[in-house]
Amino acid sequence: MTTRITVDPITRIEGHLRIDVEVDEGKVTKAWSSGQMWRGIEKILVGRDPREAWTYTQRFCGVCTTVHAIVSVRAVENALQLEVPLNAQLIRNIIQTAHAIQDHIVHFYHLSAVDWVDVVSALDADPVAAAKLAESLSDWPLNGPHEMKATQERLKTFVGSGQLGPFASGFWGHPAMKLPPEVNLLAVAHYLQALDVQNHANKIVAILGGKTPHIQNVAVGGVSNSIGHDAPSVLNIERLMLIKNFIDKLEQFVKSTYLVDVPAIGAFYLDWTQIGNGVNNYLSVPDCPQDTQGRVFDLPGGYIDNGDLSTFKPITRFDDAYFRDGVAESSKHAWYEGDAALHPWQGSTEPQYTDFQDEGKYSWVKAPTFYGKRAEVGPLADVLVGVASGHKGYQKYLNQALGTMKAVSGLSEIPLTALESTIGRHAARAVRCAVMLDTLKDQWQRLVDNVGKDQDTFNAPVFPKGEIKGVGFHAAPRGTLSHWVVIEDAKIKNYQAVVPSTWNAGPRDADGQIGPYESALLDNPVADPHLPLEVLRTVHSFDPCIACAIHMFDNEQSEIIKVKAL
C-alpha cells in the first residue's frame, strides 16, 4: 500500500479537513474524510470549574464560537437541573438565530456560490435582461438595471486588474458551470450586497453578546445582560429598537434574495439533485426554548430513519432520554485509543496517532452514531425534521423554494427527495435561514413583551458534592451540536463535545459504516481530475467550517492533484 503523508500548511484557520477520493471512469468509487487537527480542549477542561467551561469551549472554533458558549452552559445547567430565567433564554435565542442567519448567508454567497457561479462569465451578461429576470422572481429593490450595470462595470475593472482576490481559485469555464451570463451577473450583484447584509446579523450578536466572535455575556444560570428601560449601559429600549432595525433589513434580504437565488440557481443544476445523497438518516435537536426548564421549544427536533418521514421520532426536551441515551462515538478509525463505540459521558480523548491508514485509523474526528446508525445533521436534517413534525414555517418556506425551482426550471413536480442531494443541502439552508428569520422576529417580540414585567436574567448555580452528569444541545448552523459533562465535587471530571462536523465528517465507525461526507461523495462525477470542482461542490454543500484539502488519487493510488479550498 502506498504510504501517504500530508503536511498541512501552517495557517490561522481553525483545523483542517482532508478528503481523499479514488476516481474510476469519471466517478468517485471510494472516499475518506479525515480531520487533520487535534482539538484537545476537552483535556484542558478536566479539573476546571464548570462555570468557566464555556469560555474555553468557545475556542473550539474561530467561526461558530457562540454556539459552543451557549451549549456548554446548557450542559452544566442540565447537570444541575437548573432553571434559566425566560429573558436569558430569549436573549440567547436571539443571539443564536442572528448568528445562524449570518452564517448561512456567508456560507452561500461568500464561501460556496463560486462553485456554481462563473464570475467571469457575468461580464458577457446583458444587464437589462439580468434585471428583468431578477425582478420577475423577487421584489428586492436592488435588482434594477442600474444596479446590474454598475456591478458589471465594477467587475470589469476588477477582472481587468488581474487581481481576482477571493475569486482567484475559481473554476471559470469549467464544463460543470452551467449558469447563463445573466444569472451569473445577478449572483455577483447579490454576493456584493450580501457583504453588507451579513454584517447586520453580526451587529445583533455584538450588541447582546458584548462582541463577536467570542461573545462575553453567557453564564451558567442565564446571561450577564442587565435589563433596564432607559439606563444607558444596560439592555434598554434603544438597544432593542436598534436590533429590530437590523432584523428588518435582514428579513428583506433573506426572503427576497437568498430564498429566491438558491432555488433559481438550483433550477439550472437539476442533475445535482441526483448527486450527493448522504447516509439518509437525519438527526436534529429542538431549539429556542420558550420556558425556564427547556420543555417547550419553537423549533422541533427528532430523528428520521432512511429518508422516510413516517419514521420521525421527536426529541422534545433538554432532558429527553431518547437523545441522551442514543449517542455514541467510535475511535476505531480515529487517532485515539480504543475502538468500541462509547457514550460521550464515558468517552475518552487519549491520542494514538498512526499516520493515515486506509483500512485503519485516518482522522482526528471520531465517528458518532445514533442508536448504532450514522446520521446526517445540518439544515437538510432540520428541514426534513421540521416538515415531518408539522412545523408551519419549514413547510411554508420549503414550498416557496420548490415553487421558485419549478417556475425557473419549467418542471411541474419536484419531489422532496431532491433535497437529499448536493444542491438540495443549499436549498435546505436557504429554507432554514427564512425560518430562522421568523424565529428571530418572534424571540425579539417575546423579549420586548417580557421585559416590561420581569427583568430577571440570572439564576445562580449551586454545585452539590458528588458526581452529576449533563448534556447540552443546540441546533447550530451546521447541525446538531452537543456537549457532555461529568462534574464531581464542583469540578469537571470529563467533558466531550460531539460537534456537527463530527457527525458529518466522521470517518468509518466501529462497524465499518461510512460517514455522511464519505457517503455523499460516492458516485460523484469528476469531469476533469485536475479540476475536481464536483468533489468540492459536494463537500461544500455540508458547510464544512474548516479549510478543506482535497486530494485526488487515480486507480494506482498515485497522487495526481492536491487542491486547497476554503
Partner 1 sequence: MGNVLMQDEGIGVRAVEELECRFQIPPEVQVLDGGTTGMELFEPMRQCDCLIIADAINSPAAPGSLVRIANQEIRAFFQTKLSNHQLGLSDLLALLRLKGEAPNHIVIIGMVPKDLENRIGLSAEASAGLPAMVAMLRAELAELGVELAPRRQQGKGHWQRQADLELAACA
Is residue 202 a contact residue for partner 1 (CB under 8 A)? yes
Is residue 154 a contact residue for partner 1 (CB under 8 A)? yes
Tell me which residues in 498-557 interact with partner 1 (CB under 8 A): none
Determine whether 548 is an active site residue: yes
| Close Cβ partners of 352 (under 8 Å, ≥ 6 residues apart) | 335, 336, 337, 361
- Taking CB under 8 A as the criterion, the residue among 1, 10, 321, 462 binding partner 1 is 10
Residue of 439, 504, 496 whose CA lies nearest to 472:
496
Is residue 156 a contact residue for partner 1 (CB under 8 A)? no
Side chain identity at 366, as an amino acid letter? K
Is residue 164 a contact residue for partner 1 (CB under 8 A)? yes
Is residue 51 a contact residue for partner 1 (CB under 8 A)? no
For the bound state, the minimum distance from the C-beta of residue 207 to partner 1, rounded and expressed in Å, comes to 14
| Close Cβ partners of 558 (under 8 Å, ≥ 6 residues apart) | 2
Which member of 61, 333, 433, 551 is catalytic? 61
Is residue 199 a contact residue for partner 1 (CB under 8 A)? yes
Tell me which residues in 247-266 interact with partner 1 (CB under 8 A): none
In the complex with partner 1, the residue whose CB is nearer, 153 or 248, is 153
Is residue 195 a contact residue for partner 1 (CB under 8 A)? yes
- Per-residue mark of binding to partner 1, 474-503 (x: CB under 8 A): ------------------------------
Is residue 158 a contact residue for partner 1 (CB under 8 A)? yes
Which member of 432, 446, 478, 483 is catalytic? 478
Neighbours of 308 (CB within 10 A): 11
What is the rounded distance in angstroms from the CA atom of residue 31 to the CA atom of residue 84? 44
Tell me which residues in 109-138 interact with partner 1 (CB under 8 A): 110
- Taking CB under 8 A as the criterion, the residue among 27, 62, 83, 319 binding partner 1 is 62
Determine whether 545 is an active site residue: yes
Is residue 213 a contact residue for partner 1 (CB under 8 A)? yes
**What is the chain's Cα-based Rg?**
23
Contact 143, 131 (CB under 8 A): yes
Contact 57, 218 (CB under 8 A): no
What is the rounded distance in angstroms from the CA atom of residue 376 to the CA atom of residue 517? 9
- Taking CB under 8 A as the criterion, the residue among 2, 3, 163, 412 binding partner 1 is 163
What is the rounded distance in angstroms from the CA atom of residue 141 to the CA atom of residue 256? 9
Is residue 192 a contact residue for partner 1 (CB under 8 A)? yes
Contact 145, 126 (CB under 8 A): no
Is residue 453 a contact residue for partner 1 (CB under 8 A)? no
Q: Collapsing DSSP states into helix, strand and coil, what is residue 134? A: helix
Look up residue 464 and give its DSSP letter. Answer: P
Helix ranges (H only) for 18-143 are: 41-45, 53-57, 65-80, 86-105, 127-137
Interface with partner 1 by CB under 8 A: which range of 127-135, 153-161, 389-397, 455-463?
153-161
Is residue 12 a contact residue for partner 1 (CB under 8 A)? yes
For the bound state, the minimum distance from the C-beta of residue 185 to partner 1, rounded and expressed in Å, comes to 13
For the bound state, the minimum distance from the C-beta of residue 298 to partner 1, rounded and expressed in Å, comes to 29
Which member of 112, 429, 508, 545 is catalytic? 545
- Taking CB under 8 A as the criterion, the residue among 1, 2, 5, 165 binding partner 1 is 165
Determine whether 288 is an active site residue: no
Which member of 331, 501, 519, 541 is catalytic? 501
Residue 185 in grid coordinates = 451577473
What is the rounded distance in angstroms from the CA atom of residue 60 to the CA atom of residue 73? 15
Measured in degrees and rounded to the nearest 5, phi and psi for residue 473 equal -130, 165
What is the rounded distance in angstroms from the CA atom of residue 213 to the CA atom of residue 202? 9
For the bound state, the minimum distance from the C-beta of residue 204 to partner 1, rounded and expressed in Å, comes to 14
Determine whether 433 is an active site residue: no
Neighbours of 162 (CB within 10 A): 7
Determine whether 112 is an active site residue: no
Determine whether 482 is an active site residue: no
Determine whether 478 is an active site residue: yes
In the complex with partner 1, the residue whose CB is nearer, 258 or 553, is 258
What is the rounded distance in angstroms from the CA atom of residue 134 to the CA atom of residue 137? 5
Interface with partner 1 by CB under 8 A: which range of 9-17, 268-276, 429-437, 452-460?
9-17
Which member of 420, 421, 548, 551 is catalytic? 548
Contact 192, 200 (CB under 8 A): no
Number of residues this chain uses to bind partner 1 (CB under 8 A): 22
In the complex with partner 1, the residue whose CB is nearer, 162 or 415, is 162
What is the rounded distance in angstroms from the CA atom of residue 431 to the CA atom of residue 425? 10
Length of the chain: 566
Contact 453, 114 (CB under 8 A): no
Place of cell 411541474: 412
Is residue 106 a contact residue for partner 1 (CB under 8 A)? yes
Determine whether 136 is an active site residue: no
| Cβ-count burial 46-62 (b if 16+ within 10 Å, e if not) | eeeebbebbebbbbbbe
For the bound state, the minimum distance from the C-beta of residue 203 to partner 1, rounded and expressed in Å, comes to 9
Contact footprint for partner 1 (CB under 8 A): 10-12, 62, 106, 110, 154-155, 158, 161, 163-167, 192, 195, 199, 202, 212-213, 566
Which residues carry out catalysis? 14, 61, 64, 68, 478, 501, 545, 548
